[in-house]
Amino acid sequence: MSDNKQWFSLNLNSIKKKSSGSCSCGKTSGGCGSHSKDQISDEEFDTAVDATIGSERKKDGFDQVFDVQMDRRTAFRKLTASLLIGAGAVSTSCSVTTGEDSKEKAQIDWEEQFKGNYKLMTDAEKKGTVDRLVRSYQLRTGKTIHMTSENAEEDVLFGYAFNISKCQGYMDCVNACIEENNQDRNSQMQYIRIHEMKDGEGFKFDEADDNYYHEVPAEGHFYMGTQCFHCDNPPCVEVCPVQATWREKDGLVVIDYDWCVGCRYCMAACPYDGRRFNWSTPEVPEKEINKNQHYLGNRMRKKGVMEKCTFCVQRSRKGQNPACVDACPTGARIFGNLLDPNSTIRWVLENKKVFRLKEDLGTEPKFWYFMD
């Protein structure tokens, strides 16, 4: 587990003591964004902070900027830096040589604003918009992302099973999901909610706690996770006025973020609290951005559009498990192809007593719960 999280930190259990070489994503090579080199304790952190900004702690605004002690050398350096930035801004806006880039950017923005619905695009058009988005990101940040637009494969229907007996509420799935899917760190958006319920009282969601900050597993409690269930008969898809959300052939319910008008009707229609809205521009620190993206999955969203769990379409269509499945330390999460008779998910459905939530609504979720 890394310490650079802003949303919450629940490093209370065995995972905390793991060597710095591995992390919850199960890889040792890095790339999941949670491999921090060295972990420092809170005390060390505080002293370090004091050493660097100690005198500025109680200052704010104007004071922070101007009432800073600095020697002549630093002052000169800072002045030069700000002059350079200002000159740069002026030259960009007046120069004829930078025209090419900004022209291209304007062209991309124009085409992106007036492109069609991804659902109705041909493969060539899909590739076109993906290329534009990659180029646009490059022009804006100077960094290269990898974005794909793989379609659903034949004879694949994704399903998910959740073992209630195994889940201990560690929330590693939540952290992995946030990192994998580039969710807004500001609003602490989370696709997955883990509900902590009391033993002996059954599934009482209204009395469950889905926002706990204590050591898990808590005595006398059990845990149950919810997220988008990728219904076979999804009410959210029916109500969308512009078909910005739809069910793909492999069963994933996806959203075209660029086609969504942000009316939030789907949110009202979802009985499972599976959808999230970007109330403001989502913010992910540049170094934490997952650059392996899919158009329908974890690419960067903008403000005013819906988003949701896609069973990590950028991973699942490459034959990998969603990030939450790989991150789960207890093996409570099982994912696979429902049409493959040898898959684990099929074994679970055939050998366990499975059930789904709110089946009476006729939504046919592809997310089953079971117990050992």
Partner 1 sequence: MRRFKVFKGLFVDSFSAVTQGSKRYHIWMGFLTLIMLMGMYCYSLQIEHGLSVTGMSDRVSWGLYISNFTFLVGVAAAAVMLVMPTYVLKDIDFKQAVLIGEGLAVAALIMCLAFVVADMGGPSVLWHMIPGIGVFNFPNSMLTWDVIVLNGYLFINISIPFYILFRRYQGKVPNPKIYVPGAIISVFWAVGIHLVTAFLYQGLQARPFWNNALLGPRFLASAFAAGPALIILVLAVIRGYTEFKIKDKTIKKISMIVTVAAQINLIMLVSELFKEFYAPTHHSESAYYLFFGLHGKDALLPWIWTAIPLNVLATVLLTFGKLRNNLKVLYFCCFILFIAIWIEKGFGLIVPGFIPGPYGKITEYIPTGIEIGVTIGIWALGAFIFTILAKTAIKIETGKLRFKAR
Angle at 225 between CA 325 and CA 221, to 5 degrees: 120
**Pick from 162, 118, 123: which is nearest to 260 by CA?**
118
* Cβ neighbourhood burial of 35 (10 Å; 0-12, 13-18, 19+): middle
The site that binds partner 1 (CB under 8 A) totals a number of residues, namely 53
Task: Figure out which of the listed residues 249, 362, 364, 371 binds partner 1, where binding follows CB under 8 A.
Answer: 362
Query: Which among 23-31, 322-330, 343-351, 359-367 is the span making contact with partner 1, rule CB under 8 A?
Result: 359-367
Task: Figure out which of the listed residues 26, 128, 217, 304 binds partner 1, where binding follows CB under 8 A.
Answer: 304
**Pick from 322, 309, 340: which is nearest to 153 by CA?**
340
Q: Which residue, 269 or 338, has its beta carbon nearer to partner 1?
A: 269
DSSP symbol at 151: P
Under the criterion CB under 8 A, does residue 285 sit at the interface with partner 1?
no
Nearest-approach distance from CB 172 to partner 1, in angstroms: 21
Query: Which among 53-61, 82-90, 98-106, 205-213 is the span making contact with partner 1, rule CB under 8 A?
Result: 205-213
CA–CA separation, 113 and 188 (whole Å):
28
Under the criterion CB under 8 A, does residue 244 sit at the interface with partner 1?
yes
Could you tell me the CA-to-CA distances from 174 to 153, 214, 232, 264, 274 in Å, in that order?
Answer: 27, 15, 24, 23, 14
**What residues pair up with 112 in beta bridges, in sequence order?**
none
Under the criterion CB under 8 A, does residue 164 sit at the interface with partner 1?
no
What is the token pair recorded at 118?
């991804």
Under the criterion CB under 8 A, does residue 21 sit at the interface with partner 1?
no
CA–CA separation, 185 and 144 (whole Å):
21
Nearest-approach distance from CB 215 to partner 1, in angstroms: 22
Under the criterion CB under 8 A, does residue 167 sit at the interface with partner 1?
no
Q: Which residue, 337 or 367, has its beta carbon nearer to partner 1?
A: 367
* Chain contacts with partner 1 (rule: CB under 8 A): 113, 116-117, 119-120, 187, 189, 193, 195, 204-208, 210, 226, 235, 238-244, 258-265, 267-273, 275-281, 303-306, 361-363
